């Protein structure tokens, strides 16, 4: 009789075992010839070699399924165990469906919801640097984070780096206590919200702790070389041309850079100019760089957001017309 011990990641052990151990009990009942003992993050299996090998094969499929879909029920386990036609053998295949990006928490399907969001998804397969510019609510940041998480899950990259200019949106927040991450959190909340939609809380915390997901202010990018990473610069309209040049030249081997911004919401001081559109105009014809312009038709928030954007566009057009008439 052989003995084999399988070590399970502590971050997924609860989801693997299921409510009231329903998942692990389904697995145990499927292999009556094996003695299976679960203790902590270990699963000890005793029995004949062929049975243990089959157990290992099914356990690996279950773990990959959980990693891919972020959910696992006793019914899911049973389907994998009873599958003799290898229907689950391609679970590891990269999701490259027309709209689907990945499965988020609790198996939520995260998809491209507009044609321009789909352009962003398609652009990542052909380019290593993507600019996404458009008004609020068009899914720029959310899509960027989803694509980064997918790349991490598929082991295309080793880490995700999130950065943003620390510029206040028309408000004086005053002195912020705490460490660097505490000071940055208010600026990076949209990125956190997106990550929480896509990664289970315990795993997300472990990613922050071991540096798999890193939060850093734009100013701290200077001097670094970012290899094997998916790097997202959010709110890039609040970066100067010099800051953007510094950031974009941090790109290392096997890296994807995703830059998002809304040129209508610039929060820089009056003596500083946004470098976003100027940078895009300089780089847009370089092979390997893609620019996707979003518009009000891509807004996926409340229907009033579209109307608000239209109202401000009308106001800006009227202001520009008045200035033109004065000149």
Mean pLDDT of all residues in 79-94: 64
The mean predicted confidence, pLDDT, of the chain is 83
- 113 and 75 within one domain: no
Would 17 be classed as within a structural domain?
yes
In terms of residue numbers, what domain contains 73?
2-82
pLDDT band for position 106 (50/70/90)?
A: confident
Where helices occur in the chain by DSSP H, the ranges are 13-17, 22-30, 49-69, 74-82, 115-126, 140-153, 180-184, 189-198, 201-210, 241-248, 276-283, 303-326
Residue with tokens 């899509």: 143
Band of pLDDT at residue 173, cut at 50, 70 and 90:
very low
Same domain, 109 and 68: no
| 92 within some domain | no
Which two structure tokens, joined as six digits, stand for 254? 């096997």
What pLDDT is stored for residue 93 in this prediction? Answer: 46
Burial of 231 (0-12, 13-18, 19+ CB in 10 A): buried
Is 147 in the same domain as 269? yes
How many distinct structural domains can be found in the chain?
2
* 109: CB partners within 8 A, 6+ apart: 100, 103
CA–CA separation, 137 vs 135, rounded Å? Answer: 7
For residue 124, the domain's CATH number is: 3.40.50.300
Bridge partners (DSSP) listed for residue 129: 257, 289
Q: What is the pTM of this model?
A: 0.71
CATH of the domain at 26: 3.30.1370.10
* Residue 170 CB contacts under 8 Å (≥ 6 apart), including other chains: 267
What are the structure tokens assigned to 83, written together? 């599958």
What the block records as the tokens of 184 is 């940055």
Q: Are residues 235 and 122 in the same domain?
A: yes
Q: Is the same domain home to 152 and 7?
A: no
Residue 171 pLDDT level (bands cut at 50, 70, 90): very low
Please tell me the total number of residues recorded for the chain in this structure.
Answer: 327
Are residues 223 and 78 located together in one domain of the fold?
no
Q: Binning pLDDT at 50, 70 and 90, where does residue 144 land?
A: very high
296 has pLDDT over 70: yes
pLDDT given at position 135: 86
Same domain, 47 and 119: no
Same-domain pairing of 117 and 240 = yes
What pLDDT, on the 0 to 100 scale, is given for residue 241?
A: 92
> Is residue 216 located within the same domain as residue 296?
yes
- Average pLDDT (43-58) is 91
pLDDT for the residue numbered 244: 94
pLDDT confidence tier of residue 98, bands split at 50, 70 and 90: low
CA gap 176, 190 in Å, rounded:
18
Give the pLDDT score at 72: 84
- Between residues 302 and 113, which one has the greater pLDDT? 113
Residue pair 327/320 in contact by the 8 Å Cβ criterion: no
């Amino acid at each position: 009789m052989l003995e084999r011990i399988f070590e399970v990641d502590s971050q997924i052990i609860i989801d693997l075992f299921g409510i009231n151990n329903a998942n692990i009990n389904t697995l145990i009942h499927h292999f009556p010839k094996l003695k299976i003992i679960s203790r902590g993050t270990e699963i000890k299996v005793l029995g004949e070699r062929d049975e243990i090998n089959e157990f290992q094969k099914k356990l690996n499929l279950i773990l990959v399924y959980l990693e891919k879909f972020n959910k696992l029920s006793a019914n899911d386990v049973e389907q994998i165990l009873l599958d003799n036609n290898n229907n689950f053998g391609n679970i590891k295949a990269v999701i490259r469906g027309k709209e689907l990006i990945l499965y988020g928490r609790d198996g939520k399907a995260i998809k491209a919801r507009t044609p321009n969001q789909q352009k962003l998804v398609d652009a990542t397969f052909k380019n290593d640097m993507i600019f996404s510019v458009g008004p609020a609510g068009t899914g720029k940041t959310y899509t960027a984070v989803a694509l980064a998480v997918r790349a991490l899950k598929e082991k295309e990259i080793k880490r995700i780096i999130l950065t943003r200019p620390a510029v206040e949106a028309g408000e004086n927040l005053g002195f912020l206590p705490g460490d660097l991450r505490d000071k940055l959190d208010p600026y990076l909340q949209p990125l956190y919200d997106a990550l929480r939609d896509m990664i289970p809380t315990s795993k997300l915390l472990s990613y922050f702790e071991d540096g798999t997901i890193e939060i850093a202010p734009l100013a701290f990018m200077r001097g670094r070389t970012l290899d094997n990473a998916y790097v997202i610069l959010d709110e890039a309209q609040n970066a100067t041309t010099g800051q953007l040049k510094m950031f974009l030249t941090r790109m290392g081997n096997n890296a994807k850079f995703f830059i998002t911004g809304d040129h209508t919401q610039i929060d820089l001081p009056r003596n500083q100019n946004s470098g976003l559109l100027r940078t895009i105009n300089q780089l847009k014809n370089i092979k390997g760089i893609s620019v996707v312009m979003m518009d009000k038709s891509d807004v996926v928030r409340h229907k009033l957001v579209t109307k608000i954007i239209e109202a401000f566009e009308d106001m800006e057009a009227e202001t520009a017309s008045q200035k033109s008439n004065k000149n």
